Amino acid sequence: MALPGPSTMFLLLPFDSLIVNLLGISLTVLFTLLLVFIIVPAIFGVSFGIRKLYMKTLLKIFAWATLRMERGAKERNHQLYKPYTNGIIAKDPTSLEEEIKEIRRSGSSKALDNTPEFELSDIFYFCRKGMETIMDDEVTKRFSAEELESWNLLSRTNYNFQYISLRLTILWGLGVLIRIALAFTGISLLVVGTTVVGYLPNGRFKEFLSKHVHLMCYRICVRALTAIITYHDRKNRPRNGGICVANHTSPIDVIILASDGYYAMVGQVHGGLMGVIQRAMVKACPHVWFERSEVKDRHLVAKRLTEHVQDKSKLPILIFPEGTCINNTSVMMFKKGSFEIGATVYPVAIKYDPQFGDAFWNSSKYGMVTYLLRMMTSWAIVCSVWYLPPMTREADEDAVQFANRVKSAIARQGGLVDLLWDGGLKREKVKDAFKEEQQKLYSKMIVGNHEDRSRS
Amino acid sequence: MGSGGSRAAQIPDADRIRRETGFSQATLLRLYHRFRALDSNKKGYLSRVDLQQIGALAVNPLGDRIIDSFFPDGSLRVEFVDFARVLAHFRPIDDDTGTRDPKEPEPPNSRMNKLRFAFQLYDLDRDGKISRHEMLQVLRLMVGVQVTEEQLESITDRTVQEADEDGDGAVSFMEFSKSLEKMDIEQKMSIRILK
């Protein structure tokens, strides 16, 4: 007699109701767990410490995996690709003048005091410098995802990926499903909540509710991303009438900061899902959204921001002055617009731990939704947030100097490299002013001498 | 377990390139990684635009000439093979010149080949001579608008006169290398790669 196959099992009544019951029970358990462990703490802002435990376990797993990979590579005598954060070539930090003088000295048999105007060998300096930048340059490095020296089980951050085990993959898959469910909850609650609050008449009750709805939804999103955030110096948190300035690595920065404080946001009006969220949020609380065309008009932007800031009852503004996402190893030039307004600036440094997942958003490579999915399929997002003491513009410095001062403070605190290059380099070619500087330096060497000679 | 294997296997013609250029396996891997980072749309080759995007190269007065050296004969793409070949000119000189077989072609990082590379930066039309006009062009690139035409011309005339031995008004490769014979080319045209 043939054994009943799975299809026939479902026709047998006692099994049928059993499965339905099991399904019902497991769903209820799941929802209760969600409620108790995630939503309720989100409302009150407490944490069970589950995520910290998760983080410790992950670290142990990563160490084990890296060892395993190295052993495997040694057995097969293969070369493991080991990235170096300090760059591929040895660079000598000498200036243009010094190097060219050295080149001339080593090749010329003429007396040293009679320095010639131009030598055929001068070209070597520019040629070598050019080749060095082709092999390795500071800026392109900043814009690709940071390379890791140990491995974190995500194939996309390491070239030596090998498949490790089935159990880990299942665990990872479960995590992704839970996160997607949470993200969905968080976003829909935000949209619905803020719309509902928007219908209330203006007043203290509305503000109170709005603040808590915002905070709750951001905290749910934080848990959806499994973000483990450590806040330092919370006594320096931004206050009303100020501007909060932070370095920018990804759109998640907004969620991270907004889950710990109530801010007015500034940004471009987007289409799609972001647009829906933006429109709902502005009903409950006065955020400042700009149309694309308005963004180009700097005076208009400055005017609106100034109006907002001068109203002391209004919330602190959250601004990312770099203008674009950088890969979290450095801080690029800050645009001076937000520093001209004259309000108190509260700098914030955000540093992600790259071991757990690469948070950098390369906007030329991924769209927003792809990026968020990548974030949710990483193991976790671990970052530290430092609230720095407030700064104001001194009488004798202009907006650019003030911006640089704030930038250095943020870079120093977060352990990020302070670079002078413009963040816009990612999409535009660089300005000719820098090239002119080099040409000026070199011309002085060949023509400056000529003038001395003609006088004698 | 696992079927991955290191990425060296993915570099096309890895062995041939290694023999031609003399780069070590590790260095080649690093250069390949760099090649892919510069390749903005993951095309598998580099175009002029990819190299022009390097900010530090765009401020180099000879930036365009250097980029041209990667695209000989009007080609529009640089494959990894060609990329490695050009960069091989800047490898530090090996110490084994005494034991090398003289019948084999010179490695790309020999003194002669380094000089030839620099010569080609001057010699745009590749006729084997640097004419007065070509010298003027390179000088103009290096000084921009900071120097007047007369000054530049007098500098050019003097330089060509000093180097020109057979009096044809242009600097051939032989004359070029003779005027630089005391130069420590090996050091000035080499880039040390970290291990």
What pLDDT, in 10s, does the model give residues A332-381? 666 677 777 778 889 998 888 776 666 777 666 667 777 777 777 777 78
CB contact under 8 A, A442 and B33: no
Name the residue among B7, B55, B183 with its Cβ closest to that of A139.
Answer: B55
Please work out, in degrees rounded to the nearest 5, the angle formed at the alpha carbon of residue A367 by the alpha carbons of A365 and A372: 110
What does the alpha-carbon distance between residue A282 and residue A265 come to, in Å, rounded to a whole number? 9
Q: What are phi and psi of A317, to 5 degrees?
A: -90, 145
Per-residue tokens: A136: 């390795």
Q: Are B50 and B40 in contact (CB under 8 A)?
A: yes
What does the alpha-carbon distance between residue A97 and residue A441 come to, in Å, rounded to a whole number? 7
pLDDT in tens, chain A (456 residues): 445 555 554 454 566 778 888 888 877 877 777 777 776 777 776 666 777 777 777 777 777 766 776 676 666 655 555 555 556 666 666 677 777 777 776 665 554 444 556 777 788 888 888 888 888 776 555 555 555 544 555 554 444 444 556 666 777 777 777 778 778 777 887 888 888 887 888 777 888 888 888 888 888 888 777 788 888 888 888 888 788 888 887 778 888 888 888 888 877 777 677 778 888 888 877 787 777 676 667 677 778 778 887 776 778 888 887 766 666 666 666 667 777 777 888 999 888 877 666 677 766 666 777 777 777 777 778 888 999 999 888 888 888 888 888 888 888 887 776 655 555 554 444 456 667 777 887 887 777 644 444 443
Kindly state whether A448 is in contact with chain B, defined as any CB-CB distance less than 8 angstroms.
Answer: no
The pLDDT score that the predictor gives to residue A428 is 44
Cα–Cα distances in Å, from A258 out to A214, A262, B181?
8, 6, 66
Same fold across B13-89 and B108-188: yes
Q: Are A210 and A197 in contact (CB under 8 A)?
A: yes
| CB neighbourhood size of B113 (10 A) | 16
Show residues of chain A in contact with B188, CB under 8 Å. 103, 106, 121, 124-125, 128
Name the residue among A78, A425, A430 with its Cβ closest to that of B5.
Answer: A78
8-state DSSP, A371: H
Cα–Cα distances in Å, from B21 out to A231, B6, B10, B86?
51, 21, 18, 9
The pLDDT score that the predictor gives to residue B166 is 85
Name the residue among A139, A162, A434 with its Cβ closest to that of B2.
Answer: A162
Show residues of chain A in contact with B49, CB under 8 Å. none
Fold of B13-89: Recoverin; domain 1 (1.10.238)
Q: Which of A270, A261, A285 is nearest to A387 (CA)?
A: A261
Q: How many CA atoms lie within 13 A of B189 on its CB side?
A: 28
The pLDDT score that the predictor gives to residue A399 is 80
| CB neighbourhood size of A329 (10 A) | 20
Q: Which residues of chain B have pLDDT under 50?
A: 1-8
Domain ranges of chain B: 13-89, 108-188
Fold of B108-188: Recoverin; domain 1 (1.10.238)
CA-based R_g, chain B, Å = 19
Per-residue tokens: B180: 């630089």
The pLDDT score that the predictor gives to residue A229 is 84
Instruction: Note the helical H segments in A261-354.
Output: 272-284, 292-296, 298-310
Kindly state whether A15 is in contact with chain B, defined as any CB-CB distance less than 8 angstroms.
Answer: no
* A315: CB partners within 8 A, 6+ apart: A240, A262, A263, A264, A285, A286
Question: What chain B residue is nearest to A451 in terms of C-alpha separation?
Answer: B151
What does the alpha-carbon distance between residue A356 and residue A425 come to, in Å, rounded to a whole number? 28
SS3 label, residue A385: strand
**Distance between alpha carbon A36 and the CA centroid of its chain, in Å?**
31
CB contact under 8 A, A443 and B57: no
Per-residue tokens: A99: 């190097």
A residues 116-175 lying closer than 8 A (beta carbon) to B: 117-141, 144, 159-164
CB contact under 8 A, A135 and B59: no
Question: What chain B residue is nearest to A434 in terms of C-alpha separation?
Answer: B59
CB contact under 8 A, A124 and B189: yes
Residue with tokens 């919370």: A234
CB contact under 8 A, A430 and B139: no
The pLDDT score that the predictor gives to residue A450 is 46
What does the alpha-carbon distance between residue A214 and residue A283 come to, in Å, rounded to a whole number? 12
Q: Are B142 and A442 in contact (CB under 8 A)?
A: yes
CB contact under 8 A, B34 and A136: yes
What does the alpha-carbon distance between residue A82 and residue A142 come to, in Å, rounded to a whole number? 18
CB contact under 8 A, B58 and A136: no
Greatest pairwise CA separation for chain B in angstroms? 72
Name the residue among A421, A442, A446 with its Cβ closest to that of B155.
Answer: A446
What does the alpha-carbon distance between residue B128 and residue A217 come to, in Å, rounded to a whole number? 71
Interface A–B counts its CB contacts (< 8 A) at: 195
CB contact under 8 A, A134 and B51: yes
Per-residue tokens: B149: 């035409």
Q: Are A160 and A166 in contact (CB under 8 A)?
A: no
The pLDDT score that the predictor gives to residue B168 is 85
Q: Which of B32, B33, B76, B37 is nearest to B53 (CA)?
A: B37
Cα–Cα distances in Å, from A42 out to A212, A216, A233?
10, 5, 21
CB contact under 8 A, B66 and A127: yes
Q: What is the identity of the amino acid at B188? A: K
Show residues of chain B in contact with A157, CB under 8 Å. none
CB contact under 8 A, A123 and B122: yes
The per-residue b/e assignment along A212-251, b for 16 or more CB within 10 angstroms, e otherwise, is bbbbbbbbbbbbbbbbbbebeeeeebbeebbbbbbbbbbb
What does the alpha-carbon distance between residue B91 and residue B193 come to, in Å, rounded to a whole number? 8
What does the alpha-carbon distance between residue A216 and residue A178 come to, in Å, rounded to a whole number? 18
CB contact under 8 A, B60 and A438: yes
- Report field, pTM of the whole predicted structure over 0.90: no
CB contact under 8 A, B151 and A447: yes
Please work out, in degrees rounded to the nearest 5, the angle formed at the alpha carbon of residue A146 by the alpha carbons of A140 and A151: 150
For testing contact with chain A, the best of B1, B3, B6, B87 (most A CBs within 10 A): B6
Q: Which of A192, A252, A198, A263 is nearest to A225 (CA)?
A: A252
Show residues of chain A in contact with B24, CB under 8 Å. none
CB contact under 8 A, B34 and A135: yes
